[in-house]
């Protein structure tokens, strides 16, 4: 093949153009790598199979399944995809003016939608160098009251507690965290009204929390945590929450005890102002590296208060009752939480379960058994 000067010239131009394009792509890739540097991707897939004893099939005039209060009725006698969550996170570094972000995208029968679409959390994190440093979250973030987390697999039991139902799951606003020392840490913030009735554009939630961690000098109690939290509305259209909970280490290796007390106070004039109290005890025993045994017992005294607006059956108010939940967790597979759970719910007055919303409730007890599998990545 013959080459003349024009052919060689065009080849040279093409080589230069190709080299320029490669450099441009490398520059774009470098900018992208810089933008996502320090960002981590994680998440989990939470699935379950559940059986509800009794008459959850809808036959015999029953259109409300034998499902405990606050739990998703679509999961009764079903396989379910509870939650698929993908998290993007760039945590704060040690610099005095650090910045980062956190995003939780989720879907499924237990998904929490704090914003549009699949968003559960989405906030910017900022540090201001005041004292030991105040760390801020601005955007959508998980609520700070209550014993149990929005991330189900982090809780000792598969099903949610009564206490979880009455605390705000998420808030939209700004909250600051300040660690005074290794014992005391505080949080304070303001957010859009998350529950109750807004009485104006300025209706807001005011959030406060204190965490106390037991120092090493307390022996076996070291590392135990006591939390106080509240959400206040300061008007007659909202709902106030008060939460006290603790996770206590014991002298027995692997044994922890949890205590929770939740108060919910509705200030909405249309329901006359009501109060509810929920008491909970958790016992968690890590028998081996893989085997965990978890027990939860709760008592609720929420007379005249409808949790989830869905406690009125047979013309009576579901007010006083108990639940006991026993969970065996055995992590057979790597990265997988696997647990088997039995739960019993009971109401002290009237009949609450297997009702048809206008007919007659059939049971004062509800029972379920569930198998839960969660893959974490």
**Please, what sign has the CA dihedral across residues 361, 371, 292, 40?**
negative
Would you state the pLDDT for residue 319? 72
> Model's pTM, two decimal places?
0.83
Query: Domain 39-376 carries which CATH code?
Result: 2.40.160.10
Give residues with Cβ within 8 angstroms of 328, minimum separation 6: 291, 292, 293, 294, 339, 340, 341
Q: How confident is the model at residue 114, as a pLDDT?
A: 86
For the chain, domain boundaries: 39-376
Q: Tokens for 357, please give them.
A: 């919303």
pLDDT of residue 76: 82
Nearest 10 degrees: CA dihedral of 22, 23, 29, 35? -170
pLDDT of 34: 56
pLDDT at res. 29: 43
Q: What is the pLDDT of residue 11?
A: 42
CA–CA dist 124, 278 (Å, integer):
34
List average pLDDT for each run of 10 residues in the chain, which is 377 residues long: 41 44 50 68 97 62 59 84 97 96 96 87 98 97 96 96 92 97 97 80 92 96 97 87 97 97 76 73 97 97 52 46 96 96 88 58 84 98
């Amino acid at each position: 093949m013959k080459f003349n000067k024009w052919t060689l010239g065009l080849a040279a131009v093409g080589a230069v153009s190709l080299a320029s394009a490669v450099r441009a792509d490398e520059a774009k890739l470098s900018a992208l790598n810089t933008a996502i540097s320090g960002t981590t991707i994680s998440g989990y897939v939470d699935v379950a199979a559940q059986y509800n004893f009794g008459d959850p099939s809808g036959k015999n005039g029953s259109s409300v399944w034998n499902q405990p209060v606050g739990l998703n009725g679509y999961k009764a006698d079903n396989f379910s995809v509870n939650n698929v969550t993908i998290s993007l996170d760039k945590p704060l570094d040690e610099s005095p003016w650090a910045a980062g972000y956190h995003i939780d995208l989720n879907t499924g029968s237990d998904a929490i939608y704090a914003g549009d679409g699949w968003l559960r959390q989405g906030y910017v994190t900022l540090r201001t160098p005041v004292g030991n440093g105040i760390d801020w979250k601005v955007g959508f973030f998980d609520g700070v009251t209550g014993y149990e987390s929005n991330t189900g697999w982090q809780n000792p039991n598969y099903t949610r507690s009564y206490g979880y139902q009455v605390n705000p799951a998420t808030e939209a606003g700004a909250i600051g965290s300040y660690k005074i020392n290794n014992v005391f840490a505080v949080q304070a913030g303001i957010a859009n009204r998350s529950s109750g009735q807004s009485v104006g554009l300025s209706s807001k939630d005011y959030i406060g929390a204190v965490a106390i961690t037991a120092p090493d000098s307390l022996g076996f109690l070291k590392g135990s945590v006591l939390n106080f939290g509240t959400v206040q509305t300061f008007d007659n259209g909202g709902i106030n929450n008060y939460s006290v909970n603790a996770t206590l280490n014991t002298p027995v290796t692997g044994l922890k005890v949890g205590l929770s007390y939740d108060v919910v106070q509705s200030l909405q004039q249309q329901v006359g102002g009501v109060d509810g109290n929920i008491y909970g005890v958790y016992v968690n025993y890590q028998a081996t590296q893989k085997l965990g045994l978890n027990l939860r017992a709760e008592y609720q005294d929420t007379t005249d208060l409808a949790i989830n607006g869905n406690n009125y059956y047979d013309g009576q108010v579901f007010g006083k009752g108990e639940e006991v939940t026993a969970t065996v967790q055995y992590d057979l597979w790597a990265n997988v939480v696997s647990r088997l759970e039995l739960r019993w719910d009971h109401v002290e007055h009237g009949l609450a379960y297997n009702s048809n919303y206008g007919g007659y409730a059939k049971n004062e007890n509800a029972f379920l058994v569930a198998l839960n599998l969660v893959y974490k990545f």
